[in-house]
Amino acid sequence: MVLRGAERRRVFPVEPVTLKILVAGGFGVGKTTLVGAVSEIKPLRTEELLTEAGRPLDSLEGVEEKRTTTVAMDFGRISLREDLVLYLFGTPGQDRFWFLWDELATGALGAVVLADTRRLSDSFAAIDYFERRGIAFTVAVNCFDGAERYPADSVREALDLDSGTPVVLCDARERGSAKEVLIAVVEHALKTGALRRQPAAT
């Protein structure tokens, strides 16, 4: 059978590979903002208003203007390439919602730990969580207006990170900046996975 020119040139759609990425970090660090900035669909959000009843549980130090909080997760999607789609799951930041993290982390390729240089200690819990579970992560410093800027190496030292853990600076409000963070996460996670699959030297 002889194919016509148009039939020979027909390109069948590529079935994309889908990967799950977590966006984690402390309370009010910008997780919902990052997912919303980069998602190509209207993000699913589970935000509730902060109330007086929650004040003993949710410290607003450093984020006094914050009015809402994520109580379950944020969800978004972004196509990095025609054949690569990321599903983004933003975790809740408060300690009382930690029981949700194990479910959200199931099947995740990697994670972003968003950090605020004014409250770096809020990042330790998320970093410890991913280190203990062997989930590759990248630290993304959200450069808030008015916050002092520090080099990536200084942040790495302050957080006591392994030398191979990427640290990037970002603006979670900007789509391009958030996309670069996700690319860094995917590249690091794939590299980490490849190293783990290498046979041990004899």
In a domain, 1, yes or no: no
For residue 140, what are the β-bridge partners? 114, 168
Q: Which one is predicted more confidently, 7 or 197?
A: 197
Whether the predicted pLDDT of 69 surpasses 80: no
Percent of the chain past pLDDT 90, that is, above it, reads 55
pTM of the model: 0.78
Whether the predicted pLDDT of 107 surpasses 90: yes
In a domain, 5, yes or no: no
In a domain, 63, yes or no: yes
In a domain, 140, yes or no: yes
In a domain, 186, yes or no: yes
pLDDT in tens, 177-201: 999 999 999 999 999 987 777 665 5
What local confidence, expressed as pLDDT, does residue 199 receive?
A: 66
In a domain, 154, yes or no: yes
pLDDT in tens, 13-58: 678 899 999 999 988 899 999 999 999 998 876 654 444 444 444 5
In a domain, 7, yes or no: no
What local confidence, expressed as pLDDT, does residue 82 receive?
A: 87
Cα distance between residue 122 and residue 128, in whole Å: 11
Q: Which domain holds residue 26?
A: 15-197
Instruction: State mean pLDDT over 132-139.
Output: 96
Mean pLDDT score of the chain, rounded to an integer? 82
Cα distance between residue 20 and residue 89, in whole Å: 7
Number of separate domains in the chain: 1
Question: Strands across the sheet with 84-90, in order?
Answer: 44-49, 68-81, 84-90, 17-25, 110-115, 136-142, 167-170
Cα distance between residue 96 and residue 105, in whole Å: 17
What local confidence, expressed as pLDDT, does residue 186 receive?
A: 96
In a domain, 142, yes or no: yes
Whether the predicted pLDDT of 160 surpasses 50: yes
Q: Which long-range contacts (CB under 8 A, 24 or more apart) does 197-200 make?
A: none
- CATH code where residue 57 lies: 3.40.50.300
Instruction: State mean pLDDT over 6-11.
Output: 56
pLDDT band at 94 (very low <50, low <70, confident <90, very high): low
